[in-house]
Chain A
Amino acid sequence: MLNIINASKTFQPGTPNQHTALDDLCLQLQNGEFVTVIGTNGAGKSTLFNAICGTFFLDKGAITLDETDITFLPEHKRALKIGRVFQDPMKGTAPDMTVRENLAIAYARTHRKALQTALRKQDIELFRTQLATFGMGLEDRMGTKVGLLSGGQRQAVSLLMCTIATPKLLLLDEHTAALDPAAAEKVMEITRQLVAQKKLTTLMITHNINQALQTGTRTIMMSGGKIILDIGEAERKGLTVPALLEMYAGRGASPLDTDRVLFAE
């Protein structure tokens, strides 16, 4: 499904600020896998996502998605098959446009016709029924500008925008980290619902180790631009946070020193 082969990326090479963000990284995802990604700040998690999405091109290595080589495909072309939700709720939606206009732009990738009316009747009905399944009352606010919604509501809209034209791969970049606990739980619930319903292959970055171990089917841990732990479904069962931290320490990587990682509920 997704195959990353020996991916390397160094920022500002040849300067004192040289930083190797991805170091010969390999990762394979099977169809329908839901993989959670953990690691300290600067471990390369978001860089990995940026590499997959095409925000920059790799120095070395290759990426294939569904047997197609996408290593040098521009960002917007990859977005046809890859959905991404960011940590910042502002990033995934256009604030000056209404909920249904945002959804229409995202949905248009399935039937691209430049001069066709963007909001067809059947589309609006589809948006309404999909939003209704979230149980947030968003189906009654389709004419509201997205900028007026709360962070949780915006993330829910972003999630639907990324999945309404079923993507091959869904990338979630700490998409609940900026939300209050209740909203974060709601957005996670919607995430699980959408992933299960559409059988999406998913990568999710989180700083919450408990959540990482309980969500999805597999957990990987990154450090220094490499994957240092890859825990499959069977191995993950019964694994506790302290046990994981011990495994982590055993790899001799830089200690997990951020409070956010250790004390996250």
Chain B
Amino acid sequence: MNVFTVSIQQGLLYTLLALGVYITFRILNTPDLTADGSYALGLAVSGVLSAQGHPLLGLLLAALAGVLAGCITGFLQTKAGIHPVLAGILTMFGLQSVNLFVMGAPNISLLNSPTVFSLVQKLLPGVPLPVLRMALPAVFAVVSILLLQWFFSTQLGLSIRATGSNEDMVRASSINVDAVKMVGFALGNGLVALTGALIAQYQGSADLNAGIGTVTIGLASLIIGEVICGRRGLFIGLVSALVGAVGYRLILGAALQLNVPAHAFKLLSAVIIGVALSLPALKKAYLFQKAKRGGGGHA
């Protein structure tokens, strides 16, 4: 299968990760570093249950496990008063043990186990596997976007958005800010864990080391999406998670084609994020220099 197709398939799956990061990083306006741990947790839960013949239950429980992980980070931040970054790191660190405990081994193979892909293939025997491996992730991505779009227009969803904008105002509106934050982290990490769960079944293997760098991948995807789509409102934001996740995978695919060694990917990701995040500052500096030159013309 060619790199282009695989990149898009993976990008669609990683859309859920980008959406999760969007919720914590952009909507709640808090850096959440739990993702490395909750991704691997999803991977582990889904891997173990698929190996025992329950891939769908695996997806469900993986998402719930992610929700729980998010609640722990939320609890540490709100009730225990721990700095958001440290709270995320603590949960992530602790989860490394939990994940190993769940899997029982650093990696397991699902080659002969049923997955959500093989189940749907049995249901629709006429559809070729490559199409299925594209369509199913697309369905997950689009349904997630639509559900989130609906959720963030409800009272609870609106409260989460307002909490990222002005906590005092939310409290003054008689809303429990701690609880709202907890829901946000739970939702974000649930999506991240679901990404891990889907990737395990997609790849036919679960490797705990795959969790390393999840936060960075999510951020890189999100920021690439925002560079392409701009930052305008909620729906564009959700769509930019999809565009960015696919875009990030395509960039990596292109790098592969250009024989960039795989171990350089982390540096490449870091550079992409660094450049993208500094774009506003670069733009400002450019406009300043331009104005200065323009002003000099009068002298």
Contacts and interface: CB of A to CB of B under 8 A. Distances in A.
A96 B165 CA distance: 6
Given A112-B155, A114-B154, A94 B166 contact: yes
Contacts of A90: 166
B251 to A, nearest CB: 29
A79 B158 contact: no
A252 B276 CA distance: 63
Interface string B169-183: 111111111000000
Interface stretch (A100-108, A192-200, A218-226, A234-242): A100-108
A105 B153 contact: no
B173 A109 contact: yes
Interface in A77-122: 77, 79-80, 83-84, 90-97, 101-102, 104-106, 108-109, 112-119
A144 to B, nearest CB: 13
A118 B158 contact: yes
A218 B274 CA distance: 59
A191 B169 CA distance: 19
A108 to B, nearest CB: 5
A222 B174 CA distance: 29
Interface string B220-263: 00000000000000000000000000000000000000000000
Contacts of B177: 76
A108 B176 CA distance: 13
B169 A101 contact: no
Interface string B136-160: 0000000000000001011111110
Given A76-B176, A76-B177, A94-B165, A104 B158 contact: yes
B56 to A, nearest CB: 24
Most chain B CB inside 10 Å of its own CB: which residue of A91, A93, A118: A118
B155 A114 contact: yes
Contacts of A161: 169, 172-173
Contact of B158 (A76, A91, A101): A101
Nearest to A81: B174
Contact of A94 (B156, B157, B162): B162
B170 A105 contact: yes
Nearest to A107: B173
A238 B162 CA distance: 46
Interface in B245-299: none
A132 to B, nearest CB: 22
Contacts of A117: 153-155
Contact of B159 (A92, A95, A105, A119): A105
B81 to A, nearest CB: 15
Contact of A109 (B156, B166, B174): B174
B275 to A, nearest CB: 25
A106 to B, nearest CB: 5
Given A75-B171, A105-B175, A115 B165 contact: no
A162 B168 CA distance: 13
A105 B162 contact: yes
Contacts of A116: 154-155
Interface residues of A, number: 32
B203 to A, nearest CB: 35
Given A91-B168, A112-B155, A114-B155, A97 B173 contact: no
B171 A118 contact: no
Nearest to A115: B154
A199 B171 CA distance: 24
Given A94-B162, A94-B169, A118 B155 contact: yes
Contacts of A77: 174
B169 A118 contact: no
B173 A118 contact: no
Given A76-B177, A161-B173, A95 B158 contact: no
Nearest to B157: A118
A55 to B, nearest CB: 9
Contacts of A119: 153
Interface string A155-179: 0000001100000000000000000
Most chain A CB inside 10 Å of its own CB: which residue of B164, B165, B169: B169
Given A91-B169, A97-B161, A105-B162, A115 B155 contact: yes
A257 B157 CA distance: 49
Contact of B173 (A95, A106, A113, A115): A106
Most chain A CB inside 10 Å of its own CB: which residue of B154, B155, B164, B173: B173
A76 B162 contact: no
Nearest to A92: B169
Nearest to B175: A76
B232 to A, nearest CB: 11
7 contacts: A76-B175, A76-B177, A96-B161, A101-B162, A102-B162, A108-B175, A114-B156
Interface of B: 151, 153-159, 161-162, 164-166, 168-177
Interchain residue pairs A-B with the least CB separation, the first 4: A94-B165, A79-B174, A114-B156, A80-B174
